A and B are shown apart, each in its own frame.
Chain A
């Protein structure tokens, strides 16, 4: 038996040591918001927060996560009130099929915290001068989100959602329409 703290609640589970955190969430706890896209840490759909940091739940064993605070997509909205990152995804059309979306949202949430904490990325020109939320460029957002694939390719919308959640003003997600559509 193992005891996991998920979304603030302790859950006791009878699983073999070989069960991943992702499978424990989906198969044993009915928390299917975290998605199994590849099961090999190559797509990001299973991203959850472990002690506030983003992680692939498919690449860790449930038994290794005892005593850690695990947060999944199911815990972000409070009742009817969406988390601001969720609202930003909705408004900017940061998804299509929706399968990578919980992972993208958890990753975005963590990204904002990382930037607030002064973290650097591969594309940060000066490693001693990390970006702030206000100065966070599209290039930075894209590099930092690259561990979350989206085959529908809602990438523009996701970047815009992160921009909005960072307090920036993203471009409109809608297309321009040249003619009046009357007729």
Chain B
């Protein structure tokens, strides 16, 4: 860890101006990912601007009937919030599937959106890595790539986004509110993270100096049918091999609306819109519809030497999650 200056921001504006004026400065809030990265020299900031004491810790009902979640709300508080548990259970479940209680107590919503991949080649400076330094190569593509991306990857990067929370938020049509020197703007969550393309160094569409201030969840009546299913190598406290967030609106036996998002498969939380569209109007009690939706969701999958299993595992996870959502949701 390089040494750095440490400063506590006294307002959002103060925080933004500090990082705008010093491009080597970084925000820190919970620090659960950033401190880890600093230790292994993945980031070498000139100064850390501590935003953790700013007021962005509220969860408020929006005029539309959704929720506005302050960027500094901890993962624990969000997962346990009574309205989230009741109306967006897949978000609670997704957050609770991630990390451990200790990390969730410290980690914030904004920080969770900003966490970076756990690709081992990115994580150790002994390896070259395009994400760390452009044009140095991607040894993962020809190395051990069991945990790597099957959707949306590029020649320059095959890493996956590690967040569980973001997958549920992608399914829930969330919007990220950010603030920079030019004021506030909103970015749909599914456009917040980027595919790697030839700029894998950039994980998100945040501009330099911009700070996440909130995440907004629109009302979604059928989110109660939400399911978050996470499949991994260890029963708990492990990143997803594959995860899936689903929700279904069913009238009679007919699907009126659907949400399917995948985690652990791409450089960003992966919303399977085509699969969702396919499901609309189909019978909810016919499992073959879910099988077809899963096929559609994975039809563009491209595999590497060791991650081929993720395609089949994703399909099965989608099938199972949709089946449970069709029954009203719950735990898998």
Q: Which residues in A have some Cβ–Cβ distance to B below 8 Å?
A: 16-18, 20, 39-41, 44, 47, 50, 53-56, 58-61, 63-64, 107, 110-111, 114, 118-128, 142-144, 146-149
Which residues of A have CB within 8 Å of B92? 120, 127
Q: Which residues of B contact A39 (CB under 8 A)?
A: 39
User: Of A18, A63, A122, which one neighbours B1 at CB under 8 angstroms?
Assistant: A18
Residues on A with beta carbons closer than 8 Å to the beta carbon of B236:
122, 142-143, 146
B273 interfacial by beta-carbon distance below 8 Å: no
Whether the Cβ atoms of B31 and A64 lie closer than 8 Å is yes
Query: Which B residues are in CB contact (< 8 Å) with A59?
Result: 31-32, 35-36, 103, 106
In the assembled complex, the Cα of A39 lies from the Cα of B93 at a distance in Å of 27
A16 with B3: CB separation less than 8 A: yes
> Which residue on A lies nearest to B107, using beta carbons?
A59
- CB contacts (< 8 Å) of A119 on chain B: these are 76, 80
A114 / chain B contacts, CB cutoff of 8 Å: 101
Question: Cβ of B331: which chain A residues have Cβ within 8 Å of it?
Answer: 123-125
Chain B contacts of A40 at CB under 8 A? Answer: 36, 39
Please determine whether B101 and A60 come into contact, CB atoms closer than 8 angstroms. Answer: no
Report whether A120 and B85 are in contact in the complex, using a CB–CB cutoff of 8 Å.
Answer: yes
A147 with B28: CB separation less than 8 A:
no
Contact A61 B6 (CB under 8 A): yes
Instruction: Let me know if A54 and B4 touch, CB within 8 A.
Output: no
Contacts of B79 on A, CB cut-off 8 Å?
Answer: 120
In this assembly, does B86 line the interface, its C-beta being within 8 Å of a C-beta of chain A?
yes
Say how far B53's CB is from chain A's closest CB, in angstroms: 9
A147 close to B237 (CB less than 8 A) = yes
| B52 beta carbon closer than 8 Å to chain A | yes
Max chain A Cβ within 10 angstroms of own Cβ: one of B2, B52, B92, B102: B102
Ranked nearest first, the 6 interchain pairs of A and B with the lowest CB-CB distance are A147-B100, A146-B236, A17-B6, A122-B96, A127-B85, A146-B237
Q: A60-B106, A120-B96 are in contact. Are A144 and B31 (CB under 8 A)?
A: no
Nearest-neighbour CB distance to chain B for A96, whole angstroms, equals 20
- Between-chain CB contacts (< 8 Å), 29 pairs: A17-B5, A17-B48, A18-B38, A40-B36, A40-B39, A50-B105, A54-B102, A55-B106, A56-B103, A59-B32, A59-B103, A59-B106, A60-B30, A60-B31, A61-B6, A64-B50, A64-B52, A110-B101, A120-B85, A122-B93, A122-B97, A122-B236, A124-B331, A126-B330, A128-B86, A142-B236, A147-B101, A147-B237, A148-B100
Could you tell me which residues of chain B, from 96 to 142, have a CB within 8 Å of some CB in chain A? 96-97, 99-103, 105-106
State whether B105 touches A53 (Cβ < 8 A).
yes
Contacts of A125 in B (CB 8 A): 330-331
A18 and B4 within 8 A (CB): yes
